[in-house]
Structure 1
Amino acid sequence: MKVARVGLDIAKTVFQVHGVDMQGKTVLKKTLSRGEVLAFFANTPASLIGIEACAGAHYWARELIKQGHDARLMAAQFVSPYRKSGKNDANDAEAICEAVGRPNMRFVPVKSEEAQAVLAVHRVRALTVSERTALVNQVRGLLGEFGIVIGQGIAQARRLLGEIGAGGRQLPPLARETIGDLHDRLRTLDERILAYDRKISALAKACEPARRLMAIEGVGPVTATALVASVGNASTFKSGRQFAAWLGLTPRQNSSGGKTKLGSISKRGDVTLRTLLIHGTRSVLRLTTGRTDRKSVWAEALKERSCTNVAAVALAAKNARIIWAMLSRGTEYQVAS
């Protein structure tokens, strides 16, 4: 039995394998437990193995590559069109096997353990930030019941909580004690977020590509390290526009008959990366007024024609193309005069 191409549908405990030969004829259908996967493929001749890019996919791809296999990851939306009937493990594995053999299939770069460790720091920091936001929102709601309204921004919440702790606002003793507990939790979360920011800054300084990316306006240590860890080898993208499309920063198309129709941005890809780039450009747009460099003049003209939000997304797409060029070619950032 000569297996040329394999589709591996992964899960927590049950894995489904579907293999075909060089002529595309099915020669392998097997269900494996988690502990049997590596042993099974260790005794299988080197072959092309397709896996959907999902939780745990990068780990399995790395392990299979170590065994000499050509493991490739694909986005789930590119695999589903090849599923012929109902969704189950066997049909999923068959669809993956079919999709990985397509000559024009787009593959997801396999991340290293180091890159995933960096992304783990980002994910935990994002979780801590969301916890802080939820905490402040709860404080707003609780104090609103006592007629105390907090202004916009976490800084306003910190200031008012400090006043309450110092006795500057009248509250029942039980409420004051409860709000004081929340204030202590807020300070703890602030310290944790600051610690993660310092860790990310250290990672950015130690990473040469991240240091180069931070020369771009609106790209700081958080954005730079997240991009380098997520993208890996930027040469896998054919162009800067393809990279921007992967980030979901290009318009949706509904074109037909030679007539081009562009809609809103697609919002495909990594939400975190897209959000970081757009928030970075929002801060840049506050400083473009009066600047004479080409990018600032272009951004100001776009703001006048449309609005700040459109300009922020467009500038993020432009920065994405610049980032692709810098990562794929190893060049430094140069400001166009």
Structure 2
Amino acid sequence: MEHFAGLDVSMEETHICVLDREGTLIREGKTRSSPAAIAAFLADGPPCEQVVFETGRMAPMLYHGLVELGVRVVCIESRQAYQALKSLAGHKTDRNDARGLAHLARTGFFKPTHVKSLSAHAVRSLIAARKKLVGQRVTIDNQIRGLVVVFGVRLPRALSPAFEAAALKVSDGVPGLHAALSGLFAARKAMLGAIAAINADMKKMARASKVCSRLMTVPGVGPITSLAFAAAIDDPARFKRSRDVGAYLGLVPRRYQSGEIDYTGSISKRGDVRVRTLLYEAANVMLTRSAASLELKDWAKAIGARSTMRKARVALARRLAIIMHAMMRDETEFQAA
């Protein structure tokens, strides 16, 4: 008899339900949210053909940990699971969610989702930390500008020593303003140091990676873009065609069809917003700053001449995603050979 399990994961505990092929309850309970504890709970019962749980913050750690322990685990998209679980139980509880996920595993009514490697998540965390620090630094800069503009001083836009010198000069003889600016500049200096350290680490990581080094040969693509793209794709073999990457990153037009209504709108903006933004910036650099004569660049400019430059940048960003995926796939296949 085949058996199937569903896991409803939270930070502290995981509810587990095991069903047979006919949907009969075999056993259920809860344990700590760790791969070893979950594997031990499942080992005490009949072997499970498939174990299903949803995406979430704990998903990467649990998935890779359970795979290493020999558990046949599958991660599914939480939005799909939510729609299915609504129709399986009247009350939303952790116990009912685990039982609903077990029914999904039994019926096969789900679509597995790719769980990125822990190394890819480490790179993504580095990029996210850099973005947060840069955002906070911009916030502090704007706060400083707002404080000194009251005294009739407009600070330079460039990040130069003149920025700090001009602001502190205004605060001379104004105790409250001087204390406020001193604290803000101290925080700003610490953030700039942290950003510089992250940038240095990212450059080292990009140079050490053969895949990223090859991606950086594309005009407009630097260490941050190459690392972010490689971490988002993770395994290029999971895409059957390179052009599917454009849809994965939300760079394809959104379509709506219902009866007689059928129209195509702006891009879907699904997937990783950071990677999509970086690809758009890379496309803009290729169009405006790159001196190289490229057919791809001429193709995008022709689109801009027919329509708008914004659409040309989006089209070029989508084409860059396709090209970079093909480069990743070829490099991966070469290393495997």
- Name the structure 2 match of 1:18: 17
Which ranges of structure 1 fall in alignment gaps of 5 or more residues?
A: 333-337
- Name the structure 1 match of 2:162: 159
- Name the structure 2 match of 1:335: none
Q: CA deviation at 1:24?
A: 4.8
Three-state SS of the structure 1 residue aligned to 2:166 is helix
CA distance 1:128–1:262, change in 2 (3 Å): same
- Name the structure 2 match of 1:27: 26
Contact 1:136/1:154, CA 8 A, preserved across alignment: no
**After TM superposition, where is structure 1 displaced by more than 6 Å over at least 4 residues in a row?**
101-104, 168-171
Contact 1:247/1:267, CA 8 A, preserved across alignment: yes
Matched, 1:205 2:169: no
Deviations 1:294-313 (A, max 9, x none): 21111111122222222222
TM-score by length of 1: 0.85
CA distance 1:223–1:86, change in 2 (3 Å): farther
Which among 52, 55, 60 is matched to residue 53 of structure 1? Answer: 55
Query: How large is the RMSD of aligned CA atoms in angstroms?
Result: 2.8
CA distance 1:169–1:306, change in 2 (3 Å): farther
- Name the structure 2 match of 1:129: 134
TM-score by length of 2: 0.85
Contact 2:23/2:106, CA 8 A, preserved across alignment: no
Superposition pairs of residues 109-128 of structure 1, within 5 angstroms: 109-128=114-133
Matched, 1:314 2:318: no
Q: CA deviation at 1:25?
A: 4.6
Distance 2:274 2:296 in 1: 24
Contact 2:20/2:106, CA 8 A, preserved across alignment: no
- Name the structure 1 match of 2:220: 218
CA distance 1:273–1:171, change in 2 (3 Å): farther
Three-state SS of the structure 2 residue aligned to 1:261 is strand
Contact 1:164/1:176, CA 8 A, preserved across alignment: no
Q: CA deviation at 1:32?
A: 2.9
Three-state SS of the structure 2 residue aligned to 1:17 is strand
Opposite residue 167 of structure 2, the aligned amino acid is: I
Opposite residue 40 of structure 2, the aligned amino acid is: A
Distance 1:105 1:316 in 2: 31
Q: CA deviation at 1:21?
A: 2.5
Matched, 1:184 2:186: yes
Which among 49, 63, 66 is matched to residue 64 of structure 1? Answer: 66
Distance 1:104 1:234 in 2: 26
Q: CA deviation at 1:259?
A: 7.9
Opposite residue 219 of structure 1, the aligned amino acid is: V
Three-state SS of the structure 2 residue aligned to 1:218 is coil
Distance 1:252 1:99 in 2: 29
Deviations 1:92-111 (A, max 9, x none): 33443455567685433333
Identity of paired residues, percent?
28
Q: CA deviation at 1:86?
A: 4.6
Three-state SS of the structure 2 residue aligned to 1:72 is strand
Opposite residue 21 of structure 1, the aligned amino acid is: D
Which ranges of structure 2 fall in alignment gaps of 5 or more residues?
A: none
After the TM superposition, which of the residue ranges 48-57 and 71-80 deviates more from structure 2? 71-80
Distance 1:174 1:55 in 2: 43
Contact 1:109/1:233, CA 8 A, preserved across alignment: no
Q: CA deviation at 1:130?
A: 1.9
Superposition pairs of residues 264-279 of structure 1, within 5 angstroms: 264-279=266-281
Q: CA deviation at 1:65?
A: 0.6
Which among 127, 142, 150 is matched to residue 147 of structure 2? Answer: 142
